Amino acid sequence: MRSNLSLLFATGLCLMALVACSPPGTNVSYNGDEVTIKDTTGNVTAKAGSKTPYPTDLPVPQYPGSEMLVTAADTSANTSSKSMAMLKTTDSSDKILAFYKEKLSSAGWTIDNAMAGQMSFVSAKKGESAINVSIISGGNDGTTTISVSLQ
């Protein structure tokens, strides 16, 4: 619970920094665990909490048995939709890395880069899209954090 609140607080700080650098006319609204930032080009929405649904436009599934921490989506008019999800699990980074490499490859993505370790990652491309999966193990509570982002 404490790590979720810390994560929500950190997300809020990042969103406030984004708003501070945004052009005049930027609007921020809060609805429970959801923060929406809207300017003339579109929206950035962030949601936090274990009941937050996994983004449907991410081309790989949520890691099995993982808990949702935060999602964010950028639907700005000047970009194609971009999404990210942050998850946590007690599984090892090697197991998580193998899962995402297999899922990406079987979905036709070309693996550009992959590295295993305490900080693991895999990046892949398909057409004009790129996906990055970062895996950080060694949380204070024995958890591993996964970040999946579509660009």
The burial class, CB within 10 Å (0-12 / 13-18 / 19+), for 62 is middle
pLDDT of residue 56: 87
Label the pairing between strands 27-31 and 119-126: unpaired
Residue 2 confidence (pLDDT) above 70: no
Mean pLDDT of the chain: 78
- Using alpha carbons, select from 63, 65, 64 the residue that is nearest to residue 85: 63
Query: Measured between alpha carbons, how far is 151 from 141 in angstroms, rounded to an integer?
Result: 30
Query: Measured between alpha carbons, how far is 105 from 70 in angstroms, rounded to an integer?
Result: 25
Query: Measured between alpha carbons, how far is 69 from 73 in angstroms, rounded to an integer?
Result: 14
| pLDDT 10s digits, 78-123 | 555 588 899 999 999 999 999 999 999 999 999 999 999 889 999 9
CB distance 134 to 83 below 8 Å: no
Percent of the chain with pLDDT over 90: 42
Query: Measured between alpha carbons, how far is 73 from 115 in angstroms, rounded to an integer?
Result: 26
Residue 10 is encoded by which pair of tokens? 């950190």
Q: Average pLDDT for residues 40-67, to the nearest whole number?
A: 81
Least confident of 3-17, 19-33, 57-71, 110-124: 3-17
- Using alpha carbons, select from 12, 88, 96, 84 the residue that is nearest to residue 55: 84
pLDDT of residue 94: 94
pLDDT of residue 23: 55
Query: Measured between alpha carbons, how far is 14 from 111 in angstroms, rounded to an integer?
Result: 29
Under the banding of pLDDT at 50, 70 and 90, the label for residue 21 is very low
